[in-house]
Structure 1
Amino acid sequence: MKTALVGDIGGTNARFALWRDQRIDSVRVLPTQEYPRPEDAIRAYLKGVGQEVEDLEAVCLACAGPVSGDEFVFTNNHWRLSRQAFCKELGLSELLLINDFSAMALGMTRLRAGELVDICPGQSAPGRARLVIGPGTGLGVATLVPLADGRWQALPGEGGHVCLPIGSRREAALWERLHAKLGHVNAEAVLSGGGLLELYRTSCSLDDKAATLTTPAEITAAALNGDAYAKSVLEQFCVWLGRIAGDNVLTTGAQGGVYIAGGIVPRFVEFFARSGFAQSFRDKGGMSRYFDKVPVWVVTAEYPGLEGAGVALQSLLEGAPGGQ
């Protein structure tokens, strides 16, 4: 193989790296809005790292949304691609498209020491699935399943679009206002960057309070700096994430553990560890004991999606199973 490239493409940024000797190299992050198409961003990336387009042989792109067929429309950005046209333009012999959180899940198999923070103590049940969930531009969810040969397979899904659960009167009141504005209220409506801002604005509306903060970063910063109202909103965010993560554990049987990934929670790990996440995570009535030994970690690795895309590409080249 001459050159293999992996990409982790979100709503705001596209992360690219070369895949060499089963590891990522020459990582660059490019804003998606600055490029009309993914092909243009890849050309710019290759030029920036001194690689010729003609040397490119295999590519794996981790993309938000369900992956099937020739045409793929990216979630949360303006890009789209045709597999056939993409390969023809770039002269590729291999193009693998996988769900972004399948790649994130496979990236959990490449974590190094110091890249996990314990949130809920526990012990991974042998042979059981693990859940990977993370708020970012959207809410990603995937399941990591152990295989008999020691490898792992990532099962893609769209768990971020399940219905937002209600566990208290205040949550019911918030949901009612969200429903009046959005119609269907999915988990991503509050458990994402834009969702945190939506949750703040809806909370302010419910409490007849002026909404003075205008970005997710401002809300997080205000909460960490002691603003009582911002803290209450961020607390509700953590509680709702616990409810959704717990629901997914029950659905998938993921007693192997839960990885909290994505770009948001690692920014306030200490707050998250003290929040109501753990209580809401296991608040399942008669099934609460199911969570007694389920460990939960926050992932602080810098590029787990790229690592996972590399794992998937390596599996394809070796003819082994992986995520899609």
Structure 2
Amino acid sequence: MSQYALVTDIGGTNARFALYDLTTNKLSAITKILISKNDVLLTLIKDYLASQSVTVKMACIAIACPIDSEDVINLTNNDLSFSRSELVRVLNLTKLEVINDFTAVSMSIPQLSKNELVKIEGGEPDLNYPIAIYGAGTGLGVSHLIKVNQRWVSLSGEGGHTELPMISDEEDRILAQLRKKFGRVSTERFLSGSGIVNIYQALLHINNKPIEEVTPDIIVNKALSNSCPLCLQTLTYFCTFMGRFGGNLALTLNTQGGVYIAGGIVPRFIEFFKASPFREAFERKGRMSYLVKKIPVYVITHEDPGLLGAGVYLQNSLK
């Protein structure tokens, strides 16, 4: 009989749940819900498990926040929190792993097939070197993979909260507008759903236009339809900044194993992304341009890499 574990991928906006078959390494019963202000994670999990016909004794909770040794975990981009010990007690678990959501995404990468990836130039990956993973969604997640004794090990971190350098006067003006709003401006303030809005509103101000409240989807759709010059400029800057940040990650650990882009935003406009200044910005690294030029970049198109990676992580922890 198959042995199932609960896996989750909890982000700033959506919560995903699935059953992971520990004998076949396959996902099933995938459920996605929009997180509301008063949601309680334990209740969401209990409701999900109540709808399933299997007994679960193990779980891996992948969640968008730093993970430390504290019992209570608090998300970065919403009000959700939970207690590890309460989950174990109430759900009667024999094993619980709690990991960063991009640790989970990173663990999925060796399992992905070529048709679940879109390559954005570069050469062939050298898997004797590290891999970098990042992705824009509600926030900006970052992780790395390194090979240790022929096994992939994920290096989790909070790279999305580093700063992003500006390299032109126009970019300096965008940063200046965000600095007025946030003080210290992290990369996530540019490379996320709200980051797209931040860039757009900064450009409105720079062009002496009234500030309007707008959603990222509206900006992206107007850019793709070429019906709004500032929306087009916004999305072009977003792709440029994604390239610059990705190149920085590539240099940090010399990730000739490849750079992988996850998150819910970029897969929505891959053709635009491929034609954008992304790759030029990725490779524009001065004396080190020759190094990053050969590093391949892939956009992950698998719908649930976080769930898959959470299952892989749990499976590895049992070995």
Is the shorter-chain TM-score for this pair beyond 0.5, marking a shared fold? Answer: yes
SS state at 1:8 partner: strand
Q: Which amino acid aligns with 1:266?
A: P
Mapping for residues 77-88 of structure 1, pairs under 5 Å: 77-88=78-89
Change (3 A) 1:2 1:201: same
Paired with 2:240 and 2:13, the residues of 1 have a C-alpha distance of 26
Name 1:58's counterpart in structure 2: 58
Name 1:158's counterpart in structure 2: 158
| 121-130 or 27-36: bigger deviation | 27-36
Q: Which amino acid aligns with 1:102?
A: T
Name 1:311's counterpart in structure 2: 312
Paired with 1:211 and 1:122, the residues of 2 have a C-alpha distance of 43
Paired with 2:53 and 2:149, the residues of 1 have a C-alpha distance of 41
Give, in angstroms, the shift of residue 152 of structure 1: 1.1
Paired with 1:212 and 1:224, the residues of 2 have a C-alpha distance of 19
Q: Which amino acid aligns with 1:314?
A: Q
Are the counterparts in 2 of residues 200 and 211 from structure 1 also a CA contact under 8 Å?
no
In the superposition, the TM-score normalised over structure 2's length comes to 0.95
Q: Which amino acid aligns with 1:251?
A: T
Name 1:44's counterpart in structure 2: 47
- Deviation digits for residues 145-186 of structure 1 (CA, Å, limit 9, x no counterpart): 12322x211110101000121111111111111111100111
Are the counterparts in 1 of residues 37 and 79 from structure 2 also a CA contact under 8 Å?
no
Paired with 1:12 and 1:288, the residues of 2 have a C-alpha distance of 36
SS state at 1:184 partner: coil
Q: CA RMSD in A?
A: 1.5
Mapping for residues 93-112 of structure 1, pairs under 5 Å: 93-112=94-113
Are the counterparts in 1 of residues 251 and 292 from structure 2 also a CA contact under 8 Å?
no
Q: Which amino acid aligns with 1:44?
A: D
Name 2:282's counterpart in structure 1: 281
Name 1:322's counterpart in structure 2: none
| 238-247 or 121-130: bigger deviation | 121-130
Q: Among the aligned pairs, what percent are the same residue?
A: 40
Q: Which amino acid aligns with 2:17?
A: F
SS state at 1:124 partner: coil
SS state at 1:218 partner: helix
| 188-197 or 75-84: bigger deviation | 75-84
Query: Within the alignment, does 1:217 sit opposite 2:217 as a pair?
Result: yes
Paired with 1:198 and 1:173, the residues of 2 have a C-alpha distance of 12
Q: Which runs of 5+ in 2 are unaligned?
A: none
Are the counterparts in 1 of residues 103 and 154 from structure 2 also a CA contact under 8 Å?
yes
Paired with 2:27 and 2:75, the residues of 1 have a C-alpha distance of 23
Paired with 2:247 and 2:127, the residues of 1 have a C-alpha distance of 19
Paired with 1:182 and 1:75, the residues of 2 have a C-alpha distance of 16
Give, in angstroms, the shift of residue 210 of structure 1: 3.5
Give, in angstroms, the shift of residue 251 of structure 1: 1.0
Paired with 2:75 and 2:53, the residues of 1 have a C-alpha distance of 27
Give, in angstroms, the shift of residue 50 of structure 1: 3.5
SS state at 2:279 partner: helix
Q: Which runs of 5+ in 1 are unaligned?
A: 319-324
- Deviation digits for residues 218-262 of structure 1 (CA, Å, limit 9, x no counterpart): 000001101222111100001111111111111121111111110
Q: Which amino acid aligns with 2:172?
A: A
Paired with 1:97 and 1:60, the residues of 2 have a C-alpha distance of 6
| 25-34 or 64-73: bigger deviation | 25-34
| 25-34 or 188-197: bigger deviation | 25-34
Give, in angstroms, the shift of residue 212 of structure 1: 5.0
Paired with 2:287 and 2:224, the residues of 1 have a C-alpha distance of 35
Are the counterparts in 1 of residues 162 and 187 from structure 2 also a CA contact under 8 Å?
yes
Are the counterparts in 1 of residues 61 and 310 from structure 2 also a CA contact under 8 Å?
yes
Are the counterparts in 1 of residues 13 and 34 from structure 2 also a CA contact under 8 Å?
yes
SS state at 1:30 partner: strand
| 287-296 or 307-316: bigger deviation | 287-296
Q: Which portions of structure 1, spanning 4 or more consecutive aligned residues, are displaced by more than 2 angstroms?
A: 47-51, 209-213
SS state at 2:47 partner: helix
Paired with 1:33 and 1:110, the residues of 2 have a C-alpha distance of 32
In the superposition, the TM-score normalised over structure 1's length comes to 0.93
Paired with 2:127 and 2:83, the residues of 1 have a C-alpha distance of 41
Name 1:240's counterpart in structure 2: 241
Mapping for residues 136-151 of structure 1, pairs under 5 Å: 136-149=137-150, 151=151
